[in-house]
Amino acid sequence: MRQVFNDLQAGAYGDVRFNEPLAPYTTWKIGGPADILLTPRSKDQLIRAVRFLHDRGIPWTVIGRGSNMLVTDKGIRGVVIKLGDTLETVRFEGTLAIAGGAYSFIKLSVMAGKEGLTGLEFASGIPGTVGGAVYMNAGAHGSDVSRILKQAEVLWETGELATLQRDELQYAYRHSLLQTKPGIVTEAVFQLEYGERNEIAAEMAANKERRLRTQPYTLACAGSVFRNPPGHHAARLIEDAGLKGLRSGGAEVSTLHANFIVNTGEATAEDVVTLIEKVKAKVLEKYGIELHPEVLVVGER
């Protein structure tokens, strides 16, 4: 990989770092090193980098703000592409909100509210980027991305750009086409509606207050760990099984919200994986319901 590192540096593809620890780049503050961490400084550099890696058969992984993902202790082989401020853009055209893939999803909801646009209030407590939200079909409070997305610009692993309409993304609960066909969301267009600024602000404030009261965001975590099974809430099942406070090494099932696993300070990825398996086994034993994680585990095991 040293030669790849040298080639990336020589080709001016952005900021390139060798054997870079990834824990500081994730909200769980967990993870081993990337062989190479690449942060393109422009969209053109991003496109050229993806084409360079594709032509040489070099695997790559993309991260935004590092939420909703667990990087293994051995780290990620190949190149990790970190989306930088080149894709942290936003603009509004009437009722359309157009945001770069690296733009904060929470900040987008705030900006939309200030524009008097309704439809993104549910996003006011969802960490991560616009690209990550499109990828995961992120949702809360009875809504999700699929209800408001108009289209997304995607950079495929071949280095080709394509514009996909909402239906082409094959949305389902916490699922999109991008989870089976690798690509990077470079821009997303959301179809919103005009609303009353005071009502929008009040709903967002209520969502934020509820989040701060019920979710452990003062500790390193990655949001909800498990998908809600049909007809059930994962947090309720975990809590009723008496698993709040259950620990494995430095990882703990939050005592505030049972569907969060927090890093108490020195947790490893293996601690988190072990705890996930313990929770799954207990809920299956007690209720006959299999829980499925929504967090992405990436890297060498």
pLDDT at 141 over 90: no
Chain-centroid distance, C-alpha 160: 23
Say which CATH architecture domain 216-298 belongs to.
Alpha-Beta Complex (3.90)
pLDDT at 293 over 90: yes
Where are the chain's structural domains? 2-85, 88-200, 216-298
Question: Between β-strands 33-39 and 76-82, what pairing exists: parallel, antiparallel or unpaired?
Answer: parallel
Tens digit of each residue's pLDDT (9 = 90 or more) over 44-59: 999 999 999 999 999 9
Residues labelled catalytic:
174, 224, 294
Residue among 144, 209, 198, 210 at smallest CA distance from 175: 144
Residues of the chain above pLDDT 90, percent = 89
Query: Which whole number is the average pLDDT over 91-96?
Result: 98
φ, ψ dihedrals at 230, nearest 5°:
-55, 125
Q: Return the pLDDT at 130.
A: 97
CATH class for the domain made up of 88-200: alpha beta
Quick check: 159 and 173 in contact, CB under 8 A?
no
Q: Pick one of 3.30.43.10, 3.90.1150.10, 3.40.50.300, 3.40.228.10 as the CATH number of 2-85.
A: 3.30.43.10
Quick check: 72 and 32 in contact, CB under 8 A?
yes
Query: Which whole number is the average pLDDT over 138-156?
Result: 95
